[in-house]
Structure 1
Amino acid sequence: MNSIISKEKAAAMEKEAKELMKKAKGLTAPSLLELRFKPDWEGASPMLDKAALLFKQLGNIDKALEAYERAAHAQERLGSQWHAAKHYEVIADLSRQQNRPKDTAKYYKIAGDYYMECGKPTAAGEVLARGARVLEDVDPEEAERLYYDSLDVYESSEREAYAVDAFRAAIAFLLRRERWADAVEVLMRFGAISDKVGATNTQNKSYLGAVVTWLWAGDAEAAWSTFQDAMAVDSFANSNEAFAADALFEAYRSKNEEAISSLVKSKAIFKQLDHQVARLATRLPSPASKVRRMGRKLRHLMAEPEEEEYDGEEGGGFDGGEGGDGRDRGEDGLL
């Protein structure tokens, strides 16, 4: 209970709230005595709204939840999906306060659905992303579902211009969870929607971020494939981000960890990526990745036809590093 409210005031508020709930219940039930043959939702709705607010102010979350759910139902019956959505947002937040993540996710999703029903997709996308953010630490799986629902709403309703914050939050969340493939997929989607709204700088940073993510994950082939896909976009192919990515591949192809580290530290463009992506970029190469193996893979993928006829090093079919002594075989095995 709010410590500012005196006991007498609290008792009066609780009494009023209970009376309002009782009156509202009566109005929603048919009564021959009062010649009411169908529920009076219009009369009951403001009573339920006030009762819900009073219970919330008193800190009686269980009663507040009950009142808000009935208030939301009343708004649904009145055909006011907007007000129903607002009530479900409050219910979601109260569920969060009660440490009920599944209910929190459920009610944020319901709120989003009602915003969609009343033709407010931007509000739907925002509420779904907000729900995802509050659930990131307590229920990551539900948070991920809500993020994807939010992105889908923005894209399907062609509200891409309003989706920037949701995309960035989703990407950061997936990277923190080390969901590399999913993060790259969302980065590429972010690049595509940025192209639609003319945000070329954001698009180019998204594609460079996708390359960085795969390299951090140690998947040189996926990084190169992603880069080739991005190079099909003219605005990226001629960008500083594309040149930075190309230089990064060359550094990896050299199999020299120091060269990779020096490159990312020398180019400000890597620090200008969105925060979570920039954190990976400026720490390349990843301690967990096998740089020598990645370098060999990239040498093959990046080779011109005449280079493929000759593997670029003397000494046969094994890569023995700069000295050709075969020391890398124990780490990585066959080419």
Structure 2
Amino acid sequence: MANSDPDKLMIKADKLTKLSFTRWSADWRTATSLYEQAAIGYRFRKDNEKAKEAFEKASKGQEMISSPWDAAKHMESAAALAKELGRWNEVSDHYRRASELYIECGRSQPASDGLAKAARALEDVAPDEAVRLYTDACVVLEEDGKEQMAFDLYRAATSIHVKLERYTDAATFLLKWGVAADKCNAINSQCKVLLAYLSAIIVYLYAHDFQQAQKCYNDCSQIEVFLNSDQNRCASKLLSAYEEGDAEEIKHVAKSSTISNLDHVPLPTYMCNTLRRRAA
């Protein structure tokens, strides 16, 4: 049937959005329905390029008829197709736009999720942009008082920095994670606070930056939940052993159950193992 041909649907929809001597106002509602039908048709044909374009136009159409939620959904579909096509800039741009539209609806969770989807897609091809996306996704949740839902995003961003051997940046994200967790006041969140702060100190030691590790320890010790914790005592012993050059004590502390629990944060096993071997 002619009406089911996505190419013809697109042509008809485009005509409805253009003004002329005979059409003084655009019919976005009808056009949007046609763009949506065309997008489905193209996707059925596995023509991702044209399907992406159709979803982009359908998203614009939903905006024009004041339906930001549906506009966001279509923009996410366009972003997913951009990923399949390897259009990495469009992946970021489209998911960011979808996030903005979700925020217009007052929906922080899907807004953050969209940014996180883009970040995961870009981790290997554009790690710096992935970190920015993860950061923005955290901000969206925190501005809505949902810090606890940002923990996995901090973990993912920290992991990227560790893989790229950007240890100062990794430690910075661990500290941000700790601050976010501290705001939640839940028991399981307090555990994340302790692990994040101890991990930041270990990252600095791994990077041979004893001075920054000591400063980090002093700063974290100003926080009550860390001050009286096993993680604080572990960090103190580790710093003292490094300062005194006590190889046996370094290995002893590094084998402790407190450090073993760091498997729950993005601190590679090799980093903790290195603490055990470095003084040998």
TM-score, structure 2 length as denominator?
0.90
Counterparts of 1:250 and 1:22, CA distance in 2: 73
Larger radius of gyration: 1
Which amino acid in 2 is paired with 1:255?
G
* Residue 243 (structure 2) pairs with residue 253 (structure 1): yes
Counterparts of 1:68 and 1:257, CA distance in 2: 61
Task: Select 1:141's aligned residue among 115, 128, 131.
Answer: 128
1:82 — aligned with what? 69
* Residue 220 (structure 2) pairs with residue 230 (structure 1): yes
From the two aligned structures, give the one with the greater helix fraction. Answer: 2
1:155 — aligned with what? 142
Q: 1:64–1:135: structure 2 CA closer, same or farther, 3 Å change rule?
A: same
What are the within-5 Å matches in structure 2 for residues 105-124 of structure 1?
A: 105-124=92-111
Counterparts of 2:176 and 2:266, CA distance in 1: 17
Q: 1:164–1:275: structure 2 CA closer, same or farther, 3 Å change rule?
A: closer
* Residue 229 (structure 2) pairs with residue 239 (structure 1): yes
Task: Select 2:60's aligned residue among 73, 94, 100.
Answer: 73
TM-align CA RMSD = 2.3
Which amino acid in 2 is paired with 1:222?
Q
Counterparts of 2:269 and 2:254, CA distance in 1: 11
Counterparts of 2:166 and 2:99, CA distance in 1: 25
2:176 — aligned with what? 189
Counterparts of 2:2 and 2:81, CA distance in 1: 19
Tell me the matched-pair count: 276
TM-score, structure 1 length as denominator?
0.76
Task: Select 2:11's aligned residue among 16, 19, 22.
Answer: 22
Counterparts of 2:158 and 2:55, CA distance in 1: 33
Task: Please state how far the C-alpha of 1:280 moved relative to its aligned partner.
Answer: 4.9
Task: Please state how far the C-alpha of 1:285 moved relative to its aligned partner.
Answer: 2.6
Q: 1:219–1:48: structure 2 CA closer, same or farther, 3 Å change rule?
A: same
Higher mean alpha-carbon deviation, 40-49 vs 256-265, is at 256-265
Which amino acid in 2 is paired with 1:154?
L
Question: Contact 1:14–1:55 at 8 Å: present in 2 too?
Answer: no
Q: SS of the residue aligned with 2:273?
A: coil
Q: 1:13–1:143: structure 2 CA closer, same or farther, 3 Å change rule?
A: farther
* Residue 199 (structure 2) pairs with residue 212 (structure 1): no
Q: Is there any run of 5+ residues in structure 2 with no aligned partner, and where?
A: none
Question: Contact 1:187–1:206 at 8 Å: present in 2 too?
Answer: yes
Task: Select 1:180's aligned residue among 148, 167, 173.
Answer: 167
Question: Contact 2:259–2:272 at 8 Å: present in 1 too?
Answer: yes
Deviations 1:235-269 (A, max 9, x none): 1111111111112112212313443233212x122
Counterparts of 1:101 and 1:286, CA distance in 2: 41
Counterparts of 2:154 and 2:225, CA distance in 1: 21
Q: 1:80–1:256: structure 2 CA closer, same or farther, 3 Å change rule?
A: same
Counterparts of 2:270 and 2:144, CA distance in 1: 32
